[in-house]
Amino acid sequence: MHKHPLVKHLIALPVALVVVLLPGVRESPIAAEVARPMLKTMEPADFCLMPPREVGYQAGTANRRPGQAAPQGGGPPPGWPGKDALGGNVPAVRVVADPHPTFNGMAVDPQNNMVIFSDENRGSLLSYPLTAGGASTDTTEPHRHITGSKVNLGFIAGVTIDPTRREIYTVNNDGGGLVVHSYDGHGNVAPVRGLTVPHQSWGLSLDMKNDELAVTSQQYQGISIYARSATKTDRPLRSIRGDKTLLADPHGVFLDPDAREVYAANHGNWTEMRTYSADGPPLLVGEYVPGRFEKPSVRVYDAAADGNVAPVRTIQGPKTRLAWPMGLTVDSAAGELAVANYGTNEILIYAKSATGDVAPVRILGGDRTGIVGPIAVQIDRKNNEIWVANYGDHTAVVFDRSATGNAAPKRIIRNAPAGTPTTGFTNASAAAYDSKRDQLLVPN
């Protein structure tokens, strides 16, 4: 399946337009009078050619860190048709990139005294003791860090865990593959197993009681339920998808093992998925239905539901304060639903049974909380804490479970020194130059 890359990325995470201020005019390393004749000698197809040995080329590029120069001997490889073209293995003049991890998904494990984060920026998994962090402005060193060319981690999103088998589940949002790593993994280690899931999968939730795994997909506009042990190309046990479901760009998901319900946080961007090939008509026949924007929501379904089924409850409307809801979790003992609300920098907490246009029973947010671009929320009943992973400033913050309002966190985990800026890039898919303001515009 294929979608125009810009359209695909505009619904991948909260949509943003990042403006990069240029540090001053810099001359091109190749003068215009030299470049023009080179371009004129090219065949039209040369602009679309990938240099030979593309696998090695791409792998080498992926494994380089920001600011690291390309290997010596740059330029197009011998035999490439566009031998006089501008291209090949040429180092960038400069790079705008974040060299630090960025927290995305998060899973708290009181049984094994661990918290695990996915890092979509560097393609890694980081684990810390539950007591990690504090008031320090320095980087908090992880207990384990799974990273490298063998780990099969790219732009990863949600995380869920199996504390009994000591396994970490995470999903590649761009690549469409779910990978499982061992708790004991560290460094450049291969995953234990993998599972093919729909493209642009984002949220994960594991129901240990019923041995089931829920996966949301933004592009598929659905929730797929797999056996916990599913691997390779195993099919889902059932799927919730169709116009009656009202799913629209689903992100966070939670399988409630006790009530046998599944919750999904929706951004509200809906578009019909149509499969097509480059040289043929769409494979999905019938009238095309234009995309639409709906109000963000949290929708709840019977966990045994399969197919095009309506939700049993919906939280939606202006009183809810929902805006780009990301991760969510349920505290069954307290009868509460917590939602990481990216658009307002808040954690919204509702009654678990809430439905309709209802206000949260309490809100955690404000300048003292340190909540900036919250993307995941977890509740630790054993230690009576609530955890929040921030996408906006290289931190995770920990509060008392009953915290409300503009409360300060008990401690902070940092994956970069305090004050380290973030680029704001998510799935950056294009760039444009504003000559009037001397700025780069990056939609993502």
pLDDT digits (tens, 9 = 90+) for 62-86: 444 444 544 455 555 666 655 556 6
Residues 284 and 401 in one domain: yes
258 belongs to a structural domain: yes
Residues 128 and 46 in one domain: no
Quick one: 135 and 162 in the same domain?
yes
Task: Answer whether residue 9 is part of any domain.
Answer: no
Residues 185 and 225 in one domain: yes
Are residues 80 and 127 both part of a single domain? no
Beta strands, E only, 134-249 = 144-146, 156-162, 167-172, 177-182, 193-196, 201-207, 212-217, 222-227, 238-241
Q: Which three-class secondary structure state does DSSP give residue 402? A: coil
Beta carbons of 406 and 397 less than 8 angstroms apart:
no
pLDDT of 7 strictly over 60: no
Is there a single domain that holds both residue 148 and residue 60?
A: no
Residue range 19-42, pLDDT digits in tens: 555 554 433 343 444 344 433 433
**Residue 16 pLDDT > 60, yes or no?**
no
Are 399 and 386 within 8 A, CB to CB? yes
Q: What is the pLDDT of residue 91?
A: 81
Quick one: 85 and 107 in the same domain?
no
- What is the pLDDT averaged over residues 354-367? 98
Least confident of 79-83, 328-332, 440-444: 79-83
Lowest mean pLDDT segment, chosen from 97-111, 148-162, 250-264, 415-429 = 415-429
**pTM: predicted TM-score of the whole model, two decimal places:** 0.81
DSSP 343-367: GGTEEEEEETT--BS---SEEEEST
Tell me, yes or no, whether 149 and 285 share the same domain. yes
Residue 362: CB atoms within 10 A of its CB come to 15
pLDDT bucket at 374, cuts 50 / 70 / 90: very high
CATH code (residue 354)? 2.130.10.10
| Average pLDDT over all residues of the chain | 84
Mean per-residue pLDDT, 244-251: 97
Counting the structural domains of the chain, the total is 2
- What is the pLDDT, as a whole number, of residue 25? 41
- Listed residues 93, 125, 145: the one ending a domain: 93
Does 430 map to a domain?
Answer: no
Q: pLDDT-based confidence at 192, cuts 50/70/90?
A: very high
Q: How confident is the model at residue 349 (pLDDT cuts 50, 70, 90)?
A: very high
Q: Could you tell me which residues are beta bridge partners of residue 168? A: 161, 181
Lowest mean pLDDT of 151-155, 263-267, 301-305, name the range: 151-155
Domain span holding position 54 = 28-93
* Range 304-316 average pLDDT: 98
Q: What is the pLDDT of residue 283?
A: 55
